[in-house]
Amino acid sequence: MTKAIITFLCFYIVGLSLYGQTPHFERSILRSQLADPWSIAYGADGHLWITESKTYRVLRIDPETKDMKVVLDLSAAREFPRYDTLDVDDKPWPQGGLMGMVLHPKFTEGSPYVYLAYIYKHLSGNDFMSKLSRFRYDEHTNLLRDEEVIDQEIPGSNDHNGGRLEWAQQDGKYFLFYALGDMGAGQYSNVGRKNHAQDLNRKEGKILRNDFSSLPYAEFKSIPDNPPVGGGGNGGNDQNASLYEQVEELIFHSMGIPPDIVQLDSHFVDDLNFDSLDVVEFFMDVELEFDVLITDEEMERTLTVRSLVELLQRKIE
């Protein structure tokens, strides 16, 4: 019995020494003055891998020696200038730039591949195009080479691009997941952009799953494969429509004006031919439809479809 008590006390004391202490962390600066780091991954090679969103560089840092190597410079693949460095009024820089990065799960076991998501093309306004590619790491030159484009038709924007990458394995297959945002649809400078997050035929607002069981090709899937939210209708409860679309539909139902005539900058009186009575009746419909209260002063200042959408956005938020 005495021996059992002594043994218990020994384990108790050891347990206190191991778990009763406050964890101690020491901080050391590996590298400073990085240019807009976006994604940081610790690789199986024992190095930190970092993407710089605006310079479009990929860095590889040795945590022991603190040595840093630029293993890839994708700035030449960016088919638009560094708007953020130019002295111009309109600077449509995409949110992110060079974004997500993951290393192949068997990076040190014969598959030295690095996967990158980046914006490469400016279409117009806030519209961009993104690309998902893989690169082979050459351990002799310490460089990423031989780009293989997996998907170059990924929508991009100046807002809500997403861009995160993650691996998962199921039934012996490797899947690469790409989190794609809703492009900022329905808010701020994208207030007129349609929200396609619940449209299963569009990539916006989805988790994209790429099947790499037959490399190098990828099979596009969207996860979750769920039906659209809501059953249509013209009310503020339709989650599948942006505020702009809902206002368009309300103008049609209230005033009989087809949506193809209504533009974001349409003036209620000058373009849509509302008279003073039409304005009052329409804004009463707006209050009922969106369950908001609009004062006379706000109604007098709200002259266009855009200003109405922005007013509703503020009130709903």
> Chain-centre distance of CA 137, in angstroms?
26
Looking from the CA of 100 toward its CB, the CA atoms found within 13 Å total: 21
> Chain-centre distance of CA 267, in angstroms?
33
Is the pLDDT confidence value at 95 over 90?
A: no
Which region among 87-96, 198-207, 306-315 has the lowest average model confidence (pLDDT)? 87-96
CA distances 167 to 79, 114, 207, 212, 263, Å, are 28, 12, 12, 10, 42
Beta strand 48-52 pairing with 57-61: antiparallel
Q: 37-223 has which fold?
A: Neuraminidase (2.120.10)
Taking the C-alpha atoms of residue 211 and residue 107, their distance in angstroms, rounded to an integer, is 17
> pTM of the predicted model, to two decimals?
0.65
Q: Report the share of the chain in percent with pLDDT over 90.
A: 43
Residue 150 near residue 132 (C-beta atoms within 8 A)? yes
Query: Which residues are tagged catalytic?
Result: 275
Residue 98 near residue 53 (C-beta atoms within 8 A)? yes
Query: Which three-class secondary structure state does DSSP give residue 201?
Result: coil
Taking the C-alpha atoms of residue 256 and residue 273, their distance in angstroms, rounded to an integer, is 12
For domain 243-316, is the CATH number 3.40.630.30?
A: no
**Which residues touch 249 (CB under 8 Å, ≥6 apart)?**
234, 241, 259
Averaged pLDDT of the chain: 82
pLDDT tens-digit series, residues 41-71: 999 999 999 999 999 999 999 999 999 999 9
pLDDT tens-digit series, residues 168-182: 887 777 889 999 999
Q: Supply the DSSP string of 53-120, one letter for each residue.
A: TTTTEEEEE-TTT--EEEEEE-GGG--S--GGGS--S-----SSSEEEEEE-TTTTTT--EEEEEEEE
- Domain ranges for the chain: 37-223, 243-316
pLDDT tens-digit series, residues 185-234: 988 888 888 888 888 778 899 888 887 654 443 444 444 443 333 333 33
Residue 163 near residue 132 (C-beta atoms within 8 A)? no
Taking the C-alpha atoms of residue 62 and residue 45, their distance in angstroms, rounded to an integer, is 10
> Chain-centre distance of CA 114, in angstroms?
20
